[in-house]
Amino acid sequence: MPADSEPVAPPAPQTHHSQKFGLSREYLASALYVSLVLLAALIVIPQRDLANRVHAAYVMIGTAFGLSLAHWFAFRLASGITDENGHVDKDAAADAAAVITGGLTTGILAALPFLIAGGTHGWRISMFVLAALPAVAGAAIAKLRGWSTVWVLVTGTAVLIGALVVVSIKLLVTPH
């Protein structure tokens, strides 16, 4: 170490609260990401291909699981690459569980309308649920910030519009 440099303190150990916050963030990020992808998928999949209730539910849950697993895998690789010693964070298993659980929760929420209502009704309800997840997240953020009810509703609506724009862009750049 050069004589004129200051010693660098090691990073503070992660507290239980910060670890819990990190896992909650991974869970929610995965759930929201999967909701946007499933929403886009439901828009392009012909409704006739989802007429079978069990098949439609399988598509929702299977896609959610696959996306979540892919997200966790990419996150794990990125963690190993970005660590100065090439190590994966010791909490990677907990992160994986949060990511996969968040995505599967969304997949189950998207699948239930198909199992219960089936057909076009199931498709519509599933689309509503998937679009509502980001809107509710936006409203919850505004509520946590102490904003008025009007601004909570405006924020939820703005996030819903933002989510629909993201899905629309995805659909515009993807041949279907």
Q: What is the pTM of this model?
A: 0.76
Rounded Cα distance between 116 and 135, Å, is 24
The whole-number pLDDT of residue 174 equals 72
pLDDT in tens, 67-110: 999 988 887 787 777 767 767 767 777 888 888 999 999 999 99
State yes or no: pLDDT of 47 exceeds 90.
no
Structure tokens at 119: 């057909």
pLDDT at position 171 is 78
- Supply 102's token pair: 């968040």
> Mean pLDDT, to the nearest integer, of 33-45?
89
Collect all residues with Cβ–Cβ distance below 8 Å to 119 and sequence separation of at least 6.
47, 50, 51
Q: Assess whether pLDDT exceeds 80 at residue 169.
A: yes
- Contact criterion met (CB below 8 Å) for 38 and 114: no
77: left (phi over 0), alpha (psi -120 to 50) or beta: alpha
The closest alpha carbon to 128, from 150, 112, 144, 104, belongs to 112
Six token digits for residue 168: 């629309």
Tell me the pLDDT band of 61, cut-offs 50, 70 and 90.
very high
What average pLDDT does the segment 144-148 reach? 91
